[in-house]
Amino acid sequence: MTLGLFLEQLLNGVQFGVMLFLMAAGLTLVFGIMNLVNLAHGSLYMMGAYFTVAAVNWTGYYVAGVLLGLAATLLLGMLVEVVTLRTLYERDHLDQVLATFGLILFFNELVAILWGRTALDLARPEWLQGHIDLFASSRYPLYRAVIIGVGLAVAACLWYVVTRTRLGMLVRAGASNRTMVAALGVNIRLLYTFVFGFGAALAGLAGIMAGPIYAVQPGMGELILIQVFVVIVIGGIGSIRGSFVGALIVGIVDTLGRAFLKPLLGTVLSPSYADAAGPALASMLIYLLMALVLALRPEGLFPSRGS
């Protein structure tokens, strides 16, 4: 194992973490502020990818397609909030789980009806292809580097909005004490709709970026959703900072586990044991981590102040 390879895997971990963060940011906001368990967050990720495929094919331009896809996901998120989720805030979590699970089924069937069950191709434009020569002998795909860049930029923007603007102040206040914010004359319903749409757009952005490298297909959101829940549990529900740190931790731990656990076990166990235990343990690693965090800090690493 060379240093170059280790650094490359670290970068892979950061890239995976950044994708998880885009998903987790929206989910944790919705969970923290509206006290809503939204299983359908993965569907918004999927819809972002599908909208973009449609828009790119329609306009013929990648950037235009991405912007349209983002806008469409934002609107869809707000629509979903107004139509279905609004009635669920006062219900208990089980009702919310049931209703949003229903949304998953609805959206998966919807895309199957509209676009078919075959996975779609979302082609990257020329200028996003190719790779960067990072270290000796390792090439890093340019597109993955762009994902890291976009993800970090979004994180920075979010940090600015949440900590430095009036809107962010309301969001934070909403997470701490909803009743008080409403009592102070803030239209909390409108704020909810906006926050939900914004979270949907972030999930859509993750879906758009995932499109060219993963398969754009019905049910693509559920493949990543579980890890996103792990992220927000580790990071602390409702905390954006927590979801950022949690996402990076999960991304890096998962990636390094997949890459190095088997060779590492091979140094202490017999090869056949390492072959069997390595992949199994690697796929459990983030859940073990979550269990550890829950045991030591049940509130997560960065609990939001209100909870």
Closest-CA residue to 82 (of 190, 170, 181): 190
* 102 makes contact with other proteins (CB under 8 A): no
Q: In this structure, what DSSP letter does residue 85 have?
A: G
Closest CB 9 distance from other proteins, rounded Å: 6
**Binding residue (CB under 8 A) for other proteins from 216, 234, 237, 289:** 216
Q: φ, ψ for residue 131 (rounded to 5)?
A: -140, 165
Here's the x/- map for other proteins, 117-146, by CB under 8 A: it reads as xxxxx--x----xxx-----xxx-x-xx--
Do 225 and 41 contact (CB within 8 A), yes or no? yes
> In the structure, how many helices (H) and strands (E) does the chain have?
11, 2
DSSP string, 21-55: HHHHHHHHHHHHHH----TTHHHHHHHHHHHHHHH
Give the one residue of 214, 281, 299, 303 binding other proteins; rule: CB under 8 A. 214
Query: Which residue from 221, 249, 255, 256 is spatially nearest to 235, judged by alpha carbons?
Result: 249
Q: Which one of the spans 27-35, 66-74, 110-118, 178-186 is the region binding other proteins (CB under 8 A)?
A: 110-118
Confirm or reject binding of residue 40 to other proteins (CB under 8 A): no
177 binds other proteins (CB under 8 A): no
Shortest Cβ distance from residue 39 to other proteins (Å)?
14
Tell me if 93 contacts other proteins by CB under 8 A. Answer: no
CB atoms within 10 A of CB 38: 27
- Shorter beta-carbon distance to other proteins: residue 59 or 118: 118
Q: 35 near 176, Cβ under 8 Å?
A: no
Q: Which is nearer to other proteins, 125 or 130 (CB)?
A: 130
Say whether residue 17 binds other proteins (CB under 8 A).
no
Q: Let me know: does 45 contact 203? Beta carbons within 8 Å.
A: yes
Among 69, 212, 235, 236, which residue sits at the site for other proteins (rule: CB under 8 A)? 212
| Interface contacts to other proteins, rule CB under 8 A | 2, 5, 8-9, 12-13, 15-16, 105, 108-109, 112, 117-121, 124, 129-131, 137-139, 141, 143-144, 210, 212-220, 222-224, 255-256, 258-259, 262, 275, 279-280, 282-283
